[in-house]
Structure 1
Amino acid sequence: MGSAQAAHGEDTSLDVTQEHAPLEHQNSALQVTPYIWAARLDGRVSPFQRGPTISVEKPFSDVVDDLNFGGFINVWGRYDRFVLSGDIMYVDTTDIHNVGPLPAFSIPGLGVIPPGGNIDAKVDTKQFTATLMGGYRVINAPGLSLDALAGARVWHISNRMKVTGSLGGLSKSASYRESFGWVDPLVGLRAFLPITQKLSVQGQADIGGFGAGSDFTWSALVTVNYAFRDSLSTSVGYKLLDVDYDYNGHLYDTRLSGPALGMTYQF
């Protein structure tokens, strides 16, 4: 889950018992967090280049129904005041869309569909998103740490479609594959606040795109963390990832948002 931390992690510098002192004051740390994200999906997409725009509004239950596979993992590290934050998301879904009547448009493999036509599409979508940011700890106070971050988010969308175009009593079907991707530059902040020896709060946010990849993208994560022991903690919170990409006939304007639950292993 986006860089969830243990309350006993490197960020705290509260008074601690002697048994925790080596971990609290170590000069480096590495954390790996696999997580579950119960996200809903909202937005507008085009299933193929210069295809019709489809509005998507899916609660988490519908996302799960369409899900073939999903995986989420976060990696976070620090050496002295230099920090590294990485997050990887892979989702494989199958969805069925029906759109129409539509203006005239062309479908790869089918040709031109006249005005008033409809399309039925079974779309297998694979989405890979990887965020990598590095930065520097600008505040390292006993009750608060704050990191300034910069980096990039890589997107790759792959669609495999079985499309049927119809008008009146006539119809024609074809299969088609298409993929596209882009890279968004990012800047961000990450704050960590120890509450007690075992309990902490963390927030991380970034913005980017700026027309270099997508028109605009941003994400935010807030978690409450509880440390079972020095090397193991759990986190619960809320995550949001928004992107607006519209280039060369490809449209991917979506927002994923929902609660997240993670387990952090510290090395």
Structure 2
Amino acid sequence: MRGRSVKVDASFADIVEESDTLVGLMGDVEARNGPLALMGNVVWSSIGFERNDVRTRTPAPGVTTTVGRALGLDIQMAIAEVGAAYEFARFGALAFDVLGGARYWYQEADLSFEVDRTIGIADREVAGARAFARSGSVDWLDPMLGARLRYTVAPGHEFWLRGDIGGFGVGSDFSWEASAPTGSSSAPIRASPSRA
């Protein structure tokens, strides 16, 4: 964002373990008429972290220092996709689709940090505090192109593999997604797009 990039190395288990709030929603819809299908999906997540810490020291008799720190971080992300698929080849239960559409990205972050200091000498006390808060959001729209392999297991039930690429310098420089069903739901793996 704005010429800055940050590498994050955290597994899903790390995020779940360290977050105080973790909410995620996902929905897919597809309508097919012959070889043509219209599709859409939405992914929304909210992750929140809060850390509070108070430390007290007694550096000398009758002197007490206390430092309290509070850190809060809330991140929300939404991805909405609309597009169309066209079945260009079929071999029995196996079908191949080409995909095209657009993917909208929205990210918002709120960060707050506060430090309280207290020095007590005998029956006198001096206190001070500093607070810092920042929030911001960014959104963009990426075109995307992809392909999908579908295998009909039973009428109305399909196993599929999907992959796409997007961005092309329009909204982001490059983004990609690969997904496959797991049980009765899909499990997308999306790369965070690189933005100029």
Residues 125-175 of structure 1, C-alpha deviations (whole Å, 9 max, x = no match): 11010111113111133221111110111001111110359xxxx973222
CA RMSD of aligned residues (A): 3.3
Cα deviations by residue, 1:223-264 (Å, 9 ceiling, x for unpaired): 36xxxxxxxxx52665311123334xxxxxxxxxxxxxxxxx
Number of the residue aligned with 2:159: 201
* Structure 1 counterpart of 2:90: 140
Match for 2:73 among 119, 123, 133? 123
Q: Distance in 1 between matches of 2:5 and 2:165?
A: 28
1:75 alignment partner in structure 2:
29
Unmatched runs of 5 consecutive residues or more in structure 2: 52-69, 116-127
Aligned counterpart, 2:45: 91
The residue type paired with residue 25 of structure 2 is G
Cα distance in structure 1, aligned partners of 2:5 and 2:30: 40
| Larger Rg belongs to | 2
Indicate if the aligned counterparts of 1:135 and 1:147 stay in contact, CA closer than 8 A: yes
Q: Quick one: which of 98, 107, 116 aligns to 1:157?
A: 107
In 2, distance between residues paired with 1:52 and 1:215? 13
Residue 25 of structure 1 is matched in structure 2 by none
Q: Structure 2 counterpart of 1:59, which letter?
A: F
Structure 2 equivalent of residue 184 of structure 1? 142
Q: Compare relative contact order (CA 8 Å, sep 6+) and give the higher one, 1 or 2.
A: 1
**What amino acid sits opposite 1:223 in the alignment?**
P
Pair 1:54–1:143, CA change in 2 (3 A): closer
Matched, 1:242 2:191: yes
Q: Which residue of 2 aligns with 1:59?
A: 12
1:121 and 1:239 map into 2 onto residues whose CA distance is 31
Q: 1 CA distance for matches of 2:74 and 2:141?
A: 22
Counting strand residues as a fraction of each chain, which structure ranks higher? Answer: 2
Q: 2 CA distance for matches of 1:51 and 1:163?
A: 22
Aligned-residue offset at 1:208: 0.7
Equivalent pairs counted in the alignment come to: 167
**Partner-residue secondary structure (3-state), 2:107:** strand
Matched, 1:220 2:178: yes
Structure-2 change in CA distance of 1:142 and 1:63 (3 Å): same
Measure, in 1, the Cα distance between the counterparts of 2:6 and 2:103. Answer: 24
